[in-house]
Amino acid sequence: MAHQHLYDSNGKQMCCLREEKILAQAEAHNHKLQQHNHSHHHDHDHSHHHDEDGSVVRLFFPAIVSFVVLITVLFLQHIYQPSWFTFPIKLSGYLLAFVPVGIPVIKDAWQSIKVGEWFSEFTLMTIATLGAFFIGEYPEAVAVMLFYSIGEVFQTMAVSKAKRNIKSLLDQRPDVATVIRDGQAVNVEAKHVQIGETIQLKPGEKLALDGIVLSDSGAFNTSSLTGESRPDTKYKGEEVLAGMLNLNKVTLVKVSKIYSDSKLSKILELVQDATKQKAPTELFVRKFAKIYTPIVVALAVALCLLPYFFVANYVFDEWLYRALIFLVISCPCALVISIPLGYFGGIGAASRHGILVKGSNFLDIIAQTQHVVMDKTGTMTEGVFKVQEVVFNSDFDQDYILKIVNILEHHSTHPIATAIHEYIGELDISIALKDIEEISGHGLRAIVDEKEILAGNFKLMDKFGILYPIQPSEIVNTTIAVAYDSKFVGYITIADQIKEDALSTIQKLHTMGVKTTMLSGDKSTVVKLVGETLGIDYYYGDLLPDDKVKKVKEIKISGESVAFVGDGINDAPVVALSDVGIAMGGLGSDGTIEVADIVIQDDRPSKIPLAIKIGKSTRQVVWQNIALAFGVKAIVLILGAGGVATMWEAVFADVGVALLAILNAIRIQRMNFD
């Protein structure tokens, strides 16, 4: 099921300590940058680069010191060769070069041993380098730890960058808002602005909190929320959201939610929590590393000691050296860091395109999607209905009936109700309805002047035994049938518009080999028209919520991986049943964000094939890294055991492959998915 969390309460114990350390270092690195930027916001760009450069130097400082000392000692030993450079001084020099990069790793090894992690990467590197010192391979002992340290820094920076990209929406949330208090415009920290207060938003400023437009109108850039930079005009009384950029004139906005409850804040929480949901590939690699590493350690011990019984000219130092190489190569760092980093990249790339993925496990699932099932209204069509015609029996007072229908539909949240209200106008408060009831999948019923009023589909008419002298299937558009006092009054036709990118969406899905099905509660004639226009494989209309569930179950019985695309609330049972639930319109409903696994923020169906592409690319990069790590390590392990590979090859097999895998993972951020 789509919503089972793969990262349970024991997940932290499963996580390798090395990954925890790198993630913690990356978080600290990001925190320092953010702190610096907040304290120097007047010169943001300059301060950001200045502090980032300083932070990088701090990360590399131990490795720089070690490198300078190592080069100095090698120069004195092999080139300058002064008489005073005796063995004790040489050994002291190598130890001095070892300390800046070696001591932190030895400390980490001790910490991991204390919590029962005997075979952590820190332990392996400590044994390997101390063993190299023991057999007199001083330069290699220092070099292994030096390159390992450099690799750690690069990995920390890579993770830091990935996490900053994922959290880049934070920059869209201003810390300060201009609030009108006692007739004066004052700057107030956004978190201290209260609901009901008025914000003055100047051209070029971003809105800090959600609110309602008080000015006649305003043009906003919504790219921070939708990934699209097209201007969106908002009129008086319409909702605007934190992160929207005011484009052309001073606009007044009445705050409707506190800072922490804004739509953007909820989206940020979603994105930040996404990395906690681990993909099966990540969980497998972690479990594998816990088994794989002890096995390699046992093989290293065997490689050192067993030849004593089978090799005529057994030299302990030689076989110990091979065993140490074996240990260095065995470190699974390329896997345990580059794989999560790959998923970080995928989540970040998706968020930049206005697609919010709740966890790396859903990237894996969407990549394997074989069948996309979609709702019609609001997904493939605009969901903006307009009344086309009113066909009432002349025996009834049309104006009176329409006023009743308007009041009745006012109790529904369906877009059709909005269309009727726009057509008829303001509610007539002199008309009192009672016993108002919404009948799921049928329509609305109420009592007015002791007479029953019905408004809904023709199933509603059938349910209450209302006879009608027309054939519903002959009416193409969506139809609202009306009955009053147990007599058929007539009907109202309403039409919706197909979204401009709906056709290209279906074509792209078909090109990718993905089947398409459209399920709708709308009448079959409308669903057929939309389905045929778009070239959808299968389409079904006149469905109740339970019918949609049955249809999805039928598809799943065939063994296909199913993604359902809808509004996330009305279709909650189908979303829960599907392998991955995709919500259209993340800006429209908080409930959508809660229910769905993936949220498309700008309502554009073309983001569905894009999400699948990003999932496939992420999965491809992750498996490339797995193949690279295992392939190179296997080759160098064999060469090391045969005495061909030296410690330098071992360093490449460990740190070098990790860096290559990380660079490959970062590549996702720069991919063009169009």
CATH of the domain at 216: 2.70.150.10
51, 232, 375, 597: the active-site residue = 375
A 10 A CB-CB count for 501 gives 14
- Evaluated on CA atoms 121, 127, 130, 131, the torsion sign reads negative
pLDDT at 13: 38
Residue matched to tokens 């790590």: 629
H helix or E strand, kind and range, residue 92? helix 87-114
Within-domain flag for 655:
yes
Instruction: State whether 179 and 42 are in the same domain.
Output: no
Provide the β-strand partners of residue 3: none
Q: Are 37 and 150 found together in one domain?
A: yes
- CA 186, 190, 193, 199 dihedral sign is positive
Sites in the chain below the pLDDT cut of 70: 1-54, 155, 158-159, 161-173, 223-231, 263-264, 266-287, 289, 333-337, 413, 568-570, 572, 585-595, 674
d(CA 619, CA 368) in angstroms, rounded, equals 10
Q: Are 397 and 451 in contact (CB under 8 A)?
A: no
Question: What is the count of structural domains for the chain?
Answer: 4
Q: Are 147 and 651 in contact (CB under 8 A)?
A: yes
257 and 377 in a common domain: no
Residue 376 placed within a domain: yes
214 φ/ψ angles, rounded to the nearest 5 degrees: -95, -30
At CA 272, angle to CA 267 and CA 278, rounded to 5?
120
23 is written with which tokens? 């993630």
- Shared domain check, 377 and 397: no
Distance, in Å, from the CA atom of 302 to the CA atom of 525, rounded to the nearest integer, reads 75
The residues, any chain, with a CB within 8 Å of residue 526's CB and separated by 6 or more, are 376, 476, 477, 478, 496, 520, 541
Q: Are residues 313 and 452 in the same domain?
A: no
Q: Which of 561, 497, 555, 508 is nearest to 536 (CA)?
A: 508
Please indicate, yes or no, whether residues 527 and 609 belong to a single structural domain of this protein: yes
Indicate the residue among 224, 239, 261 that finishes a domain: 261
> CA nearest 633: which of 338, 290, 340, 326?
326
Residue 1 counted as domain residue: no
Residues 335 and 368 in one domain: no
- Give the sheet arrangement for strand 487-495, strand by strand: 386-392, 487-495, 478-484, 451-456, 443-448, 434-439
In a domain, 6, yes or no: no
Same domain, 661 and 621: yes
Could you tell me the sign of the dihedral formed by the alpha carbons of 596, 601, 603, 609, in that order? negative
Distance of CA 271 to the CA centre of its chain: 5
What is the token pair recorded at 434? 């009672």
Q: Both tokens of residue 44?
A: 């943001």
- Structural domain harbouring 240: 174-261
Q: Are strands 515-519 and 538-540 parallel, antiparallel or unpaired?
A: parallel
**Whether residue 366 sits in one domain with residue 298:** no
How far is the C-alpha of 581 from the C-alpha of 579, rounded, in Å?
A: 7
Question: Do residues 131 and 201 share a domain?
Answer: no
Do the Cβ atoms of 664 and 625 come closer than 8 Å? yes
Residue 173 CA to residue 209 CA, distance in Å, equals 8
143 and 215: one domain? no
Which pLDDT does position 653 carry in this prediction?
Answer: 77
* Angle at CA of residue 122, ends 103 and 60, nearest 5°: 55
Active-site residue, 501 included: no
Close Cβ partners of 507 (under 8 Å, ≥ 6 residues apart): 535
Same domain, 128 and 88: yes
- pTM for the structure as a whole: 0.68
Strand duo 184-189 + 217-221: pairing: unpaired
